[in-house]
A and B are shown apart, each in its own frame.
Chain A
Amino acid sequence: MLRDITLGQYYQTDSHLHRLDPRVKIVATLVYIVSLFVVDNFIGYLIAAAFLLAAIILSKVPPKFIFKGMRAIYFLLLITMVFNLFLTPGEPLFSFWKINVTKEGVKIAVMMGVRLVFLITGSSIMTLTTTPNQLTDGLESLMNPLKKLHVPVHEISMMMSIALRFIPILMEETDKIMKAQMARGADFETGSLIQRAKSLIPLLVPLFISAFRRANDLAMAMEARCYRGGEGRTKMKPLIYHVSDYAAYLVAAAYLGVMIAVGIIF
């Protein structure tokens, strides 16, 4: 059913990672991504792999779920590796026809591949253990300092959460309009690409009109409930750090320290 789709790919279970503050998870994910780019040696990647494995075990998410997200990047992974393999200049390993494979090329291709896989796995652990709601809350709170630069932080996060709330509704509506137009003889499936794109017009026009009407209604309902922007607003579920969150920050900092050290020494 359309209304059952979940955004992001949250995996419902109870684990230490699930219970962590979303801010910690966002920061730790960023730290992890940065750490992947400060090292370029075997020991560094070994430590990164160990850290990732520990996170997977702690998250209690079945590995099957984590690697399902990887399917989307197979192609990207392949292209990156092929290009790096063949187009890096350096000491030739072997060559045939016009293609040269160099030692450096092999090294960079393997490194890029490993980096990409680690990067995607790391960030999907975050989205698998954090609800979209918590993510927007965490982002809002982390971006709070930007308010001084007149970045509308509260508005951005409100927009994100409203979008998340309305995506399933609009999907359902798209489905309804599509069926209604098909009942009137619209054809969405045959013809050339251009014809098919054109046939989407009778779908998109009513969808947009209805979306605007909904937006209007929603704005009125929000105003009726005293919504007046982020000023003076309290939170029903404020983000509060617990001991485990500070511990997680420490672990992430220690990990980054080790990775930088490894990057410099080796």
Chain B
Amino acid sequence: MLQVENLTFEYIRRDEEGNVEGIKTAVDGVDLEVNKGEFISILGHNGSGKSTLAKHFNALLFPTEGTVWVDGLNTMDSQNIWDVRQGAGMVFQNPDNQIIGQVVEEDVGFGPENMGIPTEEIWERVEESLKAVGMYEYRKNSPNHLSGGQKQRVSIAGVIAMHPKCIIFDEPTAMLDPNGRKEVIRAARALNEVEGITIILITHYMEEVIYSDKVFVMDKGKITMQGTPREIFSQVDKLKELRLGVPQVTLLAHELQKRGLNIPNGILDRKELINAIKAYRY
């Protein structure tokens, strides 16, 4: 579905005359492969290059070195650019700055309109996408009257209406309250499980990655760790070094383990911890 080979991206800063003032390597030699139908997460603190990486999947940025293939299409090839953008939809961080329409249904229809879909089919797509994120009853509302989580669900519907094979979530929950965060993550998981859409979630909230099939941790433009959430969260100390917190339950289990309690590594939720402690007693 998505293949990244030795991707390097440099931001070049220029002074007023256009001379190169400095070069900042945001992404540094990244290799990555995502299979169809997977739910993967990319973790990293601010400035680790994760958002820059994500913008390559949608042909919003182009590699300085290396190649990105989306569904077999090279993003560098200017003929492919619209197919790439249609195949890999993107949900951004700020809910206000990505809604174009003044009415919810019109915003969802914006993508299909751009693709030149016939009118009747646009309406079908809008209806089905709004139902998929549970926002159908708000279709006539103004986006200004919705909560942050609802706005993000509208943005997701706008992407689904383009029938993408893969959706990239670029820190979709960073500006939301806990309830809004849950709403968005639930919507993303449902799309992955029910519709089989490949999901790439970029975030710095640890709690959100525990459902993914694979986690990549980025630091200074490089991928420093990868594996299943359980494998990643077993390495609490290394994560701390990268300035990433682990979920509280995992941390608690880790501390208990350090004090000599014999429970397994990489505990992800409360139930697991309770079961582990129960099992230990007997």
Decide if B19 is an interface residue (CB 8 Å cutoff).
no
Cβ of B92 and Cβ of A133 under 8 Å apart?
no
Cβ of B82 and Cβ of A228 under 8 Å apart?
yes
Q: How large is the interface on A (under 10, 10 to 19, 20 to 34, 35 or more residues)?
A: 20 to 34
A-chain residues with CB within 8 Å of residue B111 when the two chains form the complex: 225-226
Decide if A91 is an interface residue (CB 8 Å cutoff).
no
Cβ of B97 and Cβ of A221 under 8 Å apart?
yes
Decide if B252 is an interface residue (CB 8 Å cutoff).
no
Cβ of B60 and Cβ of A226 under 8 Å apart?
no
Q: How large is the interface on B (under 10, 10 to 19, 20 to 34, 35 or more residues)?
A: 35 or more
Cα distance A3–B96 when bound, in Å? 13
Cβ of B102 and Cβ of A161 under 8 Å apart?
yes
Decide if A217 is an interface residue (CB 8 Å cutoff).
yes
Cβ of A3 and Cβ of B145 under 8 Å apart?
yes
> In the complex, which of the residues B99, B122, B126, B162 contacts A226, with contact meaning CB atoms closer than 8 Å?
B162
Cβ of B144 and Cβ of A224 under 8 Å apart?
no
A-chain residues with CB within 8 Å of residue B96 when the two chains form the complex: 169, 214
A214-B97, A218-B98, A225-B158 given; A236·B109 CB < 8 A:
yes
> In the complex, which of the residues A169, A217, A223, A238 contacts B85, with contact meaning CB atoms closer than 8 Å?
A223
Cα distance A221–B86 when bound, in Å? 13
Chain A proximity of B219: nearest CB distance (Å): 25
Chain B proximity of A66: nearest CB distance (Å): 24
A112-152 toward B: CB 8 Å interface, digit per residue (1/0)?
00000000000000000000110000000000000000000
A-chain residues with CB within 8 Å of residue B158 when the two chains form the complex: 225
Cβ of A221 and Cβ of B92 under 8 Å apart?
yes
Cα distance A18–B92 when bound, in Å? 37
Decide if B138 is an interface residue (CB 8 Å cutoff).
no
A221-B100, A225-B85 given; A3·B117 CB < 8 A:
no
A-chain residues with CB within 8 Å of residue B143 when the two chains form the complex: 165
B-chain residues with CB within 8 Å of residue A223 when the two chains form the complex: 60, 85
Decide if A110 is an interface residue (CB 8 Å cutoff).
no
Cβ of B126 and Cβ of A236 under 8 Å apart?
yes
Cβ of B159 and Cβ of A225 under 8 Å apart?
yes
Decide if B103 is an interface residue (CB 8 Å cutoff).
yes
A-chain residues with CB within 8 Å of residue B90 when the two chains form the complex: 221, 224
Cα distance A133–B101 when bound, in Å? 9
Cβ of B85 and Cβ of A234 under 8 Å apart?
no
B-chain residues with CB within 8 Å of residue A236 when the two chains form the complex: 105-106, 109, 112-113, 119, 122-123, 126
Cβ of A3 and Cβ of B144 under 8 Å apart?
yes
Decide if B136 is an interface residue (CB 8 Å cutoff).
no
> In the complex, which of the residues A3, A161, A224 contacts B60, with contact meaning CB atoms closer than 8 Å?
A224
Cβ of A224 and Cβ of B85 under 8 Å apart?
yes
Cβ of B102 and Cβ of A164 under 8 Å apart?
yes
A-chain residues with CB within 8 Å of residue B112 when the two chains form the complex: 234, 236
Cβ of A226 and Cβ of B114 under 8 Å apart?
yes
State which residues 109-129 of B face A: CB under 8 Å: 109-119, 122-123, 126
Chain B proximity of A240: nearest CB distance (Å): 10
A-chain residues with CB within 8 Å of residue B114 when the two chains form the complex: 225-228, 233
Cα distance A222–B101 when bound, in Å? 11
Cβ of B162 and Cβ of A217 under 8 Å apart?
no
Decide if B94 is an interface residue (CB 8 Å cutoff).
yes
Chain A proximity of B29: nearest CB distance (Å): 25
Decide if B89 is an interface residue (CB 8 Å cutoff).
yes
State which residues 35-85 of A face B: CB under 8 Å: none
Chain A proximity of B91: nearest CB distance (Å): 9
Chain B residue at minimal CB-CB distance from A221: B98
Cα distance A200–B106 when bound, in Å? 36
Cβ of A165 and Cβ of B122 under 8 Å apart?
no
Chain B proximity of A21: nearest CB distance (Å): 16
B-chain residues with CB within 8 Å of residue A217 when the two chains form the complex: 92, 94, 97-98
State which residues 187-227 of A face B: CB under 8 Å: 214, 217-218, 220-227
A-chain residues with CB within 8 Å of residue B100 when the two chains form the complex: 162, 165, 218, 221-222, 225
Q: Please provide the 8 A-B residue pairs with the shortest distance between their CB atoms, ordered closest to farther.
A: A221-B98, A217-B97, A236-B109, A225-B111, A226-B114, A224-B90, A236-B122, A232-B116
The residues of A with any CB-CB pair to B shorter than 8 Å are 3, 132-133, 161-162, 164-165, 168-169, 214, 217-218, 220-228, 232-238
CB-defined A-B contacts under 8 Å, sample of 18:
A165-B99, A165-B101, A217-B94, A217-B98, A220-B92, A221-B92, A221-B97, A222-B100, A224-B85, A225-B89, A225-B100, A225-B162, A226-B85, A226-B162, A232-B116, A234-B118, A236-B106, A236-B126
